[in-house]
Amino acid sequence: MTVPVKRGDGRVALTYLAPALLVLVGLMGYPIYQLVLISLFDYGQEQVSGGAPLTFLGLGNYARLLADDRFWAVLGQTVGFAAVCVAGTLLVGAALAVLATRVRAWARTTLFLAALGAWATPAVAGSTIWLFLFDANLGFVNEVLGTTGFSWTYDKWVAFGLVAAQVIWCSFPFVMVTLYAGIRAIPGEVLEAAALDGASTARTATAVILPLLRPILVVVTIQSIIWDFKVFTQIYVMTNGGGIAGRNLVLNVYAYQQAFAASEYGLGAAIGVVTTVLLLLVTAGYLRALRRGGEEL
């Protein structure tokens, strides 16, 4: 509800907004502008310390990236890794949300408490715990499987799989809780009406429950894509900075390593711009597809 317009409203509103605007412009707006700017220059250690003049490269950094096989490999890995994480998170989250509606309160509470624990674990702590569980010599998993000495972080794909499992572990609770709330919000009458009309369970699920849940599914899917596309901590901690010879790099970690480890700030910024654009494209494309499907957000 908006109060009717009074004189001086604009000024009061601005006073209320000013502090937040100041922070947002200074620490989000300006850095976004700077990111694009830095990506257009040859910005190395000498330029940072002021020992060498800046060279304007235009799209030079981008051209260098596009011609680099490694960039394409990392891009492919990032998309594949994010896709696996998103699919896994949604599958586990949705399955457990449905399961939670089918059990009595005590079982549901047990499940939710466990999920709450995984959700609350900070990424660094979670990554470290998983590393210890899967440790080659001291890890419990190798002990149980009888594979003592097997390194889960040595092979590129096994390492990616381990990180993906950790990411799914800490992100499915959000999907589960949100979907569970959504299912619970469906009025009982709707389901009764479907039952009276003789709809089977499968038909009720696809023709009644799923359409009603779609807005929530959209939100959790977009959130998962955005989160999983920019996983940083788990990759960094679990594969020790991107794996042996950088085999487990994703775009975010790649950009970070280029900038802060190799002192190629311009190139790192260019990767950052590419990541941002990709993410905005994914979000926009997804929203458009949904709107075309007649969905209101």
Least distance in Å: CB of 278 to another protein?
A: 9
Show Cβ contacts of residue 227 under 8 Å, excluding neighbours closer than 6 positions: 171
Show Cβ contacts of residue 217 under 8 Å, excluding neighbours closer than 6 positions: 179
Asked if 221 touches another protein (CB under 8 A), the answer is no
Among candidate residues 164, 165, 129, the one with its CA nearest the CA of residue 248 = 164
Least distance in Å: CB of 191 to another protein?
A: 16
Write the single-letter amino acid at 201: T
The upper half-sphere exposure of residue 62, i.e. CA atoms within 13 Å in the direction of its Cβ, equals 13
Tokens of 99: 């399961």
Rule CB under 8 A: choose which of 13, 63, 261, 262 binds another protein: 13
> In this complex, which beta carbon is closest to another protein, that of residue 63 or of residue 107?
107
Asked if 229 touches another protein (CB under 8 A), the answer is yes
Tokens of 126: 């979670």
Q: H helices of 60-139, where?
A: 60-66, 69-101, 105-120, 123-133
Asked if 110 touches another protein (CB under 8 A), the answer is yes
Rule CB under 8 A: choose which of 50, 67, 69, 113 binds another protein: 113
Least distance in Å: CB of 71 to another protein?
A: 15
* Interaction residues for another protein, span 179-198 (CB under 8 A): 181-182, 185
Please work out the total of residues on this chain that contact another protein, with binding judged by CB under 8 A: 94
Write the single-letter amino acid at 232: F
Q: x/- site string to another protein, residues 34 to 73, per CB under 8 A?
A: xx--x-----------------------------------
